[in-house]
Structure 1
């Protein structure tokens, strides 16, 4: 299957590296809130469903974080999982059998791994390694991982659907950068790409995770049965697209560049993920939960928070298409539009989900 083909070329759009004012490390408070919201649920899932006998003769417990970026959120999530595994051993009277931990931090090769490495907590209780590569293919040896974690990563597609960039295709997405309020053909192209990617993702993990191992997936999405417009990310991309079209009208950027640009992000529902899991057949669903993220107290700072959040995640892909000189103008305009929108309408809340899967025995 495609997941085994290491010759595949996947698009890489890492978060903004470094520790500057626009970096992901300094502007990932939204993602941190989601990790915090999932903390107790993840602990409970590990304690209730993890069979510590999966270690067999091994004396090390291996955790993989897929789409780790540069921190610090990955470190909070890892520490939480290690505490849960330790508690599982202690609760079964096996305190002396607690294994050593190895954590494998995975992201695209273009991720700022240097920033990740220098940010490691001084008191970390695990051996660490960086593993470059797309998680839509194999990145670990067969049956080598006991616990997989991925937060705010699997909504990124492996690539932009080819059809939306083809001027001769009914799915050509002229004048838009995403599928919200686009033609049905555009939406179907994104859905098809998501289905293909999740098939590869689950096939790869089924080979890498030991029988009885767990996979914890945290992702932004939309409620079951809801329209694409109910996904907060989709609405934020629509605002970004309108800013780009404003700059086209001002002559700052060419219309052709906007027409050839689309964001490879798909906001799935838990039902869609469950369907992918059923088609794969190698995992059971142990938990599905909505994550309630506390609202920001100071709503006056929300426009800047949203703009900084989107910039930290999208600056790399935008630079690649439009050049660095456009970025400040684009996000000044984006912040202004957020201020107008927030002052007059209900912007809605980000919808996030936690899904815990268990590797079944074949």
Structure 2
């Protein structure tokens, strides 16, 4: 039977910067790897304690893992290796089919415009799994029914399927004129992004519920905000306000058109653990086995270092900025961002940004 059509979502594709150059995601994602490292012990424990033995027994030949929003490495390989080792440990500790070697198939999935060539070139030579790429959005179906044993997604599902259509509609009360995000915008804009999150998570959980085996696990690492904190107080707000001010400077200089700025919004939403919990409850197909806020981590001394922060932001947003404003502004834009970041007072409050781990189990 064909997968359910999800084209109604009008999905956008904004892959991370490909290749292995100085601005690539491969060379500018150390922070995300540190976050995954902070979650490793909890993920190991969840697999050991929560993965059903019948899932392992029924997959005595091949165990299937899928990483959603894999990008180009190296973080996806780090995450997959950790999951694989935890599954093997559980398998051997229970002496399951001791006369038979458990084999692993790993599916690396991302948008069709992801740099899969770079991903495959970077595959570890000593990997203990068979690798395959699966192009497509994780807001729709990607795999056959009841085929995947563990899903993983890290720093992925805060990307929405698209910018809410209301925020770029001049006739809508949610028109987000002059702003590039919802974090410090009007209530109408915030509600539009919240509604988009609800729609997207409904699609995400519905698709995964069909694709995962009964008793299988879904491991999610999500950047978000603590419950009850106003969106305007989110740590990411400072970053996007700085980027927004840089673009406004370029508008005033005639480098960027005001119309293009008014139609530019970053399709991200930083949810709280409680918001995700509500999405899972509405879906009804999964139980929440683990929900933990991860320890704060630092990359290259401090995540708020201007050079590191600029490089990480460029690796994530360069593609969509180039698509909207053209390649010629990129260097000047991020040079200006770097300068403004350095001039900011060091008043960041880590409590207003969190990373949290959620482990879901298919009922």
* Residue in 2 that maps onto 1:222: 225
Asked if residue 295 in structure 1 is aligned to residue 298 in structure 2, the reply is yes
Q: Which moved more, 1:288-297 or 1:20-29?
A: 288-297
1:232-287 deviation digits (Å, cap 9, x = unpaired): 23331222111111111122111111001000000000000000000000000000
Asked if the contact 2:31/2:299 (under 8 Å) is kept, the reply is no
Q: Structure 2 matches for 1:184-223, cutoff 5 A?
A: 184-223=187-226
* Residue in 1 that maps onto 2:86: 84
- Cα–Cα, structure 1 residues 140 and 234, in superposed 2: closer, same or farther, change >3 Å? farther
Cα distance between partner residues in 2 of 1:308 and 1:131: 28
- 1:181, distance to aligned residue in structure 2 (A): 1.6
SS, match of residue 214 in structure 1: strand
Which ranges of structure 2 fall in alignment gaps of 5 or more residues?
none
1:123-182 deviation digits (Å, cap 9, x = unpaired): 000000000000000000000000000000000000000000000000000000001221
Cα distance between partner residues in 1 of 2:250 and 2:87: 51
* Residue in 2 that maps onto 1:26: 27
Q: Which moved more, 1:348-357 or 1:181-190?
A: 348-357
- 1:57, distance to aligned residue in structure 2 (A): 4.3
- Cα–Cα, structure 1 residues 139 and 301, in superposed 2: closer, same or farther, change >3 Å? closer
Cα distance between partner residues in 1 of 2:39 and 2:233: 21
Asked if residue 149 in structure 1 is aligned to residue 157 in structure 2, the reply is no
* Residue in 2 that maps onto 1:358: 361
- 1:13, distance to aligned residue in structure 2 (A): 0.2
Q: 1:75 aligns with which of 69, 74, 77?
A: 77
* Residue in 2 that maps onto 1:53: 54
Cα distance between partner residues in 2 of 1:240 and 1:202: 32
- TM-score, with structure 1 as normaliser: 0.95
* Residue in 1 that maps onto 2:5: 5
Give the root-mean-square deviation of aligned CA atoms: 1.5
- 1:297, distance to aligned residue in structure 2 (A): 5.9
Q: Which moved more, 1:297-306 or 1:29-38?
A: 297-306
Cα distance between partner residues in 1 of 2:108 and 2:233: 32
SS, match of residue 287 in structure 2: strand
- 1:90, distance to aligned residue in structure 2 (A): 1.8
Cα distance between partner residues in 1 of 2:272 and 2:101: 37
Asked if residue 40 in structure 1 is aligned to residue 41 in structure 2, the reply is yes
- 1:56, distance to aligned residue in structure 2 (A): 4.9
1:287-339 deviation digits (Å, cap 9, x = unpaired): 01111133346459810000000000000000000000001111001111110
Aligned length: 356
Asked if the contact 2:183/2:234 (under 8 Å) is kept, the reply is no
